[in-house]
Structure 1
Amino acid sequence: MTAAEIARLAGVGRAAVSNWRRRHPDFPRPVGGTDASPAFALAEVESWLRAQGKIAELPLLERVWQLVDTLRDPAGHPAAPLVEAGALLLLLHREPGQWAELADRPDTRLALALPRAVAGTAVHAFGPDGARTLGLPGLLGSTQLDLARLLAELAAQAGPVGAYEQLLTRYAEANTRQLSPTPPEAAELLAAVAGVPATVLDPAVGLGSVLLAHPPTTGRYGQDADPVAAALARLRIALHTPADEPGPLPLDLRAGDALRADGFPGDTFEAVLCQPPYNERDWGHDELQYDTRWPGGLVPPRGESELAWVLHCLAHTRPGGLAALLLPPTVAARRAGRRIRAELLRSGALRAVIALPAGAAPPYGVPLHLWVLRAPLPGSDFRQVLMLDAGASASGPAPTGPGGAAGAQAAEGGRDKVDWTGLRRTVLDAWRGFDLAAREGLPVPADRPGVHRVMAAIDLLDDETDLSPARHVPPAAPLGGAAELSHLGGRLAELLADLPDPVTLLPRPGAATDGASGVAPVGVVTIGELVRGGALEVYSSGTGAATRPAGSGGTPVVTDQDLATGAAPSAVLATGPGPAGDVRTRPGDVLVPALGGGTARVVPAEGPLVGAALGRQLHLLRPDPAALDPEFLAGQFRSTAGTRRAASHATTTARLDIRRVELPRLPLPAQHRLGTAFARLAAFDAALTQAAALGRGLTRAATDALATGALAPPE
């Protein structure tokens, strides 16, 4: 294992590992790697960390991951062992009774029997060539058997689906330069734009996120240039399919470069959705000069690989079907692609260009565009395009509810700052209204300044044929005049007047050290010790249950974004009761994001948070009210001092090792006193956030009104 992996294991930063190597002569010596990136023996490192009291026990996921790493062939694909792991988890998912029968067999018999059982499950799920396509071994070694037993333990904790998602997340985090999977929220947006097609194709399937957003009843097809990635996606989708779904599953994923070696030549589908690779210079320009996918022989320029993917997707879309692609914003304006863009407009194929906020999909610092196309029907003369600036709408005046800061956060960009609920509503309302008008011959929706505009294709055909929505959507009109600005000003004044005097919230000087006050701590205790003592239960959601946006009924799911903004749950469970070990929130529970960040929220006695399932990357702490005050517990997690020592910075993302968080030992009455103070500070902070969001909206609207001359300056 590398120094970064040791840091992750111990929950510290890489600098700490470097310090240990310098300061402790008994620290394990490197057994491989290079001087710049040495590798250490797992057993030696684990033994040293345990002896130093830095870990009590190697987490199960880490033990699984280290065996996966041991099975890697240095000359092979780094994810190849995950195919075997996924195939075993598929056996546990679809036929758990078989593993129960095999688990107690001696290794010599299990080494032959388990591969046969796994291969049988693959054949049942994927058809006669299922085992061969996955390249499953016919005999297992001792390390592979150890991995199988640990995977069974991990599946017992998180379910087979959750176990595989954790492994794929670890793999994606370790290979960010080679792998950038489409996040589930973006995949669900693509699927929602397409509706419920009978068949869907993703020609750049990656880990299968886009296909996963469709129900199992949809025929799902895909291709990827990386055969191992295609195998991982096949297994992932099969694991997310209900175990009682009869096989073979309506799933066909093939390996190969979709542009150079089309896996589905001549086939068309109701929907073609993908996030293709970007900025590829060697995409096959020279060898594909006479390809039939190029309309009228119009070959995409060498530097326009993204437009080659657009034409490839359109060629596989049946007449009247839909294609949707996530593309960099430069594709809409680069001069080299002008002729291709013009042809898409003239043919009536291009129906919408939607600008998304930064953070919607990788690369997360770029505000991507969503292109929506329909394969033209014979005789159709519809030639209009929806220009939608969803990124700009996200940065408009923020709502004044509990999540009022969400709009401003979305404008700043960042994966965790996108208001997906608002974004979906903006995109789908505009697209569905426009698409219905196009299909039924109805009037197109009226323009909405600052958000969307419908344009005739001929008005976009000029020397540049720039399709950037920001160039064509009219600017947002200021708020409705002096009366509305006066109303907003009055509302802001009310919020500010209701704020308590900050002096009444401040601690008294010297109170923390006054033993007579009943607040002075008598040592510290960790969350792990409280769990072992029975005073606290901790549940971690991992990747969480599959969700869909709220609004259509179902069990609410609280997400990390809801927790950060103080909003009500923004999603509901997609299907079924949730994964094994699923829990629901109760009054008095404390919700904490796995990434830390000084956020913690107590579930109130009533309201939308009660009875919610956990979204991804959340911890639920359930204190015994006879031993721990919930508000006291939440306040300690909001304290930077309380969580600093438990933060892990082994990767570019900070994580919170929940069990290492330390709390002061205090009697229950003192906890109640502190909890009350913490709760008042939290309410004060929420009110300030709401007032700040309203104030930003008010000043932006007033500035626009003055700049456009709609209103006169004050006296």
Structure 2
Amino acid sequence: MTAAEISRIAGVTRATVSNWRRRHDNFPAPSGGTESSPLYDLEAVRSWLGSRGHTSAANPTEELRTTLRLRAQNNSGSGGSTTDLLSLVLAATRRKPEELKALLDLPDGDLADRAARAATDLADAVPGARPVHFTAADAPVLRALFLCVRDEGGQAALSALAERELEDSAASGTYQTPAPLADLAARLIPGTPTSVLDPACGSGALLAATARRKSSELYGQDTLPVQAQRSAVGLMITAPEAEVTVRTGDSLRVDAFPDLTVDAVLCNPPYGDRDWGHDELAYDPRWAYGVPARAESELAWVQHALAHLRPGGHAVLILPPATAGRASGRRVRRELVRSGALRAVVGLPAGAAPPLHVALQIWVLQRPEPGGAERKSVLFVDTATGSDRGSMSTSVSASVSGTRPKGGSRPAPLDWAGVENLAVTAWEAFVRDPDGFTDEPGRARAVPVVDLLDDMADLAPARHVRVTRSDIAPEELAADLDAARADLLRSTRSLARAARDSDCTAAGASAAEWRTATASDLARGGALAVLRTSPDTVPGGAGGAHGSEAARAVLTAADIERGTGPTGDAAELRDSAAPLIAEGDVLVRAVAGGEGPMARVAGEGDTGALLGPHVHLLRPDPTRLDAWCLAGFLGSEDNIAGASTGSTVLQVSPGRLRVPLLPLAVQRQYGEAFRRVHELRAEARRAVLLAEETARLLAAGLTGGQLLPSAESGEGVQGGNSHP
């Protein structure tokens, strides 16, 4: 276990753990890892903490994770793998809290016997589960599991067990579908489908979303046994009245439900899989719309979903954007459009689901009915650009100022309510009256089928909903241009003032020299403190140290480089004790390189944000150090180079950064000069962005016909009639 995990167990900060290591000779020695990132034996640490009277401060879920790791290390107990505990979660959720308390009070041997009987009784409900035999040695993990179910619910215990099994099996690509995205996908199925299939069910999030909408027959399949088992147990907990059937296996190669037709299919299939069975499935009857190319596994999943629908049934698939435009898939895409099977494509913002850097899409399909109505158009919705935006000046100001005004002009967390409202409202209006759908330029548009049947059959929403020349009135574009130009003029004046204010004088015949000290020296003397967040990140880790962290932003190294306010997501922080940033803190990027500044002073807009990974925080004593002076010297090129180690990636060691020892009054003079340098950088970035926006509006208006060159721009232009 890492030092961060020790801090969570003991309920202390990582700095306290570091102090224990230095001050106590009997603190457990590292059992692995590296000198800079040591790993400790879990049992030895817990024994040491117990000898000092430190009871565990971890929540029940974290305690279960810790106990599972200890069980795996010791390899004790004959109860089998972690998956053998999954059916026990289901049994525990069917017990009342007082019954679970009674189980917890049993002696170890009796507890093991009762748990084994309870898990075995429900083994048939879990795919691939076997009869279980626990021993007294398994009592710690059984108690942790029952306690987690009692205090935090079955889903929390289920997630901890599945995570452990996935780590042990080294499975990759097992992303969970976020609950808001699963709910959106379920809402795109018209009505309330009785029977629903997810052929790549993973953790069961999509099926659970339909169960919340009262679907009563739930079918799932997944290649990983632990995911199929997790999905089955989770669905039986979420929807105890529903009929749940989950199987293990590859749906494309070995379909567990070959004769099943359902009302709806929801699926978030694996992406970019070139080994999906192209050669062996070349003549499969599911390919009614064309044999998918080897690189088009996603189009194989699309047709698999359609094959399992009853006529008129709907399918919703979450797909990568490349599926909409890759040349190798154009024939299948054309046939899906031509036949009327494709009803809508919804573009999502980046960050909606893993992989977070990709703007995924939702495809809504419907199996054609014999003799059904002709489908003349396909709906395209772009939720990534469809939300209302502020003025150009506000958005640019937010992106270059380095702080954010009160009211939150920084990039906000994903607005799921807005995404869902735009997508569902447009889809429901389209379903009611496809021919009478009113387009919303830039947000949603119903595109005639004939317009989609070109050589590429490109189905990217952004391409089809974009605002065209016919959507913009000349007066509107001219007004936007005037506003952008006015902002640019104000920005250039501000840039000129910043350039004048940054004036300095020559030092004389030779450069000024100072006596310097390292940041480590200053920290030992109490002049500053050096803090850092754990560099490890996993989804859903933060939240224990400062209350509910989901609403807090995280300041990242990229924010310092770009000069933006905090834009990181607290859900991706592993370190539950991540420091909170205070105004006046000095923030230094932990990896050297890039184009932007290496350091800055935290302003009002950064206050209260969590410190992100790969950022050092130096908190100066304001009676001894000026923050702006400190940031200016710490971020200098020579200082960063001298404090960096590595060959390809240069890691900045904050303790090695050097600071001149100057009287506080002199520091403040330097600090004011460095603050003006920061303002010069910010104004320059702002002016560049405004100039780009002004040029874009000019070019768009001239090429679109909404704007004409002024008389000073040339002669002979009269409404398009000109002579060479």
Query: Helix, strand or coil: the match of 2:386?
Result: helix
Per-residue displacement from partner, 1:294-331 (whole Å, max 9, x unpaired)? 116x3211111111111111111111111111111111
Pairing 1:143-162 to 2, within 5 Å after superposition: 143-162=137-156
Structure 2 CA distance for aligned equivalents of residues 137 and 648 of structure 1: 47
Measured in 2, the distance between the counterparts of 1:701 and 1:16 equals 53
Output one character per residue of 1:27-75: Cα deviation in whole Å (capped at 9) or x when no partner.
5345578999975321222345678999974554333212212344999
Change (3 A) 1:224 1:67: same
Does residue 338 (structure 1) correspond to residue 330 (structure 2)? The answer is yes
Any conservation in 2 of the 1:386–1:455 contact (CA below 8 Å)?
A: yes
Q: Match of 2:231, SS?
A: helix
Matches of 1:253 and 1:398, distance apart in 2: 50
TM-score, length-normalised on structure 2?
0.61
Structure 2 unaligned spans of 5+: 405-409, 488-538, 557-569, 574-579, 587-601, 620-685, 713-724
In the alignment, does 2:341 pair up with 1:349? yes
Structure-2 residue corresponding to 1:370: 362
In the alignment, structure 1 residue 222 sits paired with structure 2 residue 220:
yes
CA distance 1:338–1:250, shift in 2 (3 Å): same
SS in 1 for 2:237: helix
The answer to whether the Cα contact below 8 Å between 2:10 and 2:57 also exists between their aligned partners in 1 is no
Amino acid at match of 2:222: D
Query: Deviation at 1:232?
Result: 0.9
| SS in structure 2 of the partner of residue 146 of structure 1 | helix
How big is each residue's C-alpha offset from its partner over 1:578-614, in whole Å with a ceiling of 9 and x where there is no partner? xxxxxxxxxxx99654766489xxxxxxxxxxxxxxx
Give RMSD over aligned pairs: 5.7
Corresponding residue of 1:201: 197
| Preserved CA contact (<8 Å) 1:12 1:648 | no
Instruction: Give identity over the alignment, percent.
Output: 38
Q: How does 1:512-551 map to 2 (within 5 A)?
A: none
Q: Which residue of 1 aligns with 2:63?
A: 63
Aligned to 1:273: 266
1:116–1:173 CA distance, 2 compared to 1 (3 A): closer
1:417 aligns to 2:418 (yes or no): no
1:215 partner SS: helix
CA distance in 2, matches of 1:430, 1:184: 21
Number of the residue aligned with 1:386:
379
Number of the residue aligned with 1:532: none
Equivalent pair of 1:449/1:473 in contact (CA under 8 Å): yes
CA distance in 2: counterparts of 1:261 and 1:73, whole angstroms: 36
Report the CA distance shift for 1:647/1:636 in structure 2 as closer, same or farther (over 3 A).
Answer: closer
| 1:198-241 C-alpha deviation (Å, 9 max, x unpaired) | 11111111111111112353121111001111101111222233
Q: 1:423 to 1:704 in 2, by over 3 A?
A: farther
Q: What is the identity, as a one-letter code, of the residue corresponding to 2:443?
A: V
Structure 1 equivalent of residue 303 of structure 2: 311
Larger RCO: Structure 1 or Structure 2 (Cα < 8 Å, ≥ 6 residues apart)?
A: 1
Equivalent AA in structure 2 for residue 202 of structure 1: D
Asked if the contact 1:200–1:221 (Cα under 8 Å) also holds between the matched residues in 2, the reply is yes
CA offsets, 1:486-528, max 9 Å, x none?
9999xx9xxxxxxxxxxxxxxxxxxxxxxxxxxxxxxxxxxxx
Give the CA deviation at 1:428.
Answer: 1.0
Paired position in structure 1 for 2:89? 89
Displacement of 1:264 in angstroms is: 0.8
Quote the residue 1:110 is aligned against. 111
Q: CA deviation at 1:180?
A: 1.1
Q: What is the deviation of 1:450?
A: 1.3
Q: Are the equivalent residues in 1 in contact too, given 2:11–2:58 (CA < 8 A)?
A: no
Q: 1:324 aligns with which of 304, 316, 325?
A: 316
Instruction: Say which of 450, 457, 461 aligns to 2:453.
Output: 461
State the distance in 2 between where 1:53 and 1:637 align: 33
Q: Provide closer, same or farther for how the CA distance between residues 157 and 596 of structure 1 changes in structure 2, counting only shifts above 3 A.
A: farther
Deviation at 1:142, TM superposition (A): 2.8
TM-score, normalised on structure 1? 0.62
Match of 1:290 among 283, 287, 290: 283
Query: 1:470, 1:310 → 2: CA distance?
Result: 21
Going from structure 1 to structure 2, the CA distance change for 1:302 and 1:593 (only over 3 Å counts) comes to: closer
- What letter matches 2:205 in structure 1? S
Structure 1 residue 397, shift from structure 2 partner: 4.2
CA shift, 1:394, in A, is 3.4
Q: Measure the CA separation in 1 of the matches of 2:130 and 2:361.
A: 39
How far residue 341 of structure 1 moved from its aligned partner, in angstroms, is 1.0
For the residues of structure 2 that align with 1:347 and 1:212, how far apart are their CA atoms? 31
Q: Evaluate the alpha carbon distance shift between residue 158 and residue 487 of structure 1 in structure 2; reply closer, same or farther with a 3 A threshold.
A: farther
Whether 1:253 and 2:249 are equivalent positions in the alignment is no
CA 1:398/1:191 → structure 2, altered by over 3 Å: closer, same or farther? farther
Q: How many residues align?
A: 545
Looking at structure 1, the residues matched to 694 and 244 of structure 2 have their Cα atoms a distance apart, in angstroms, of: 51
SS at match of 2:313: strand
Q: Check the 8 A contact 1:359/1:416 in 2, yes or no.
A: no
Provide the secondary structure at the position in 2 that maps to 1:372: strand
- Counterparts of 2:246 and 2:691, CA distance in 1: 52
1:547 match: none
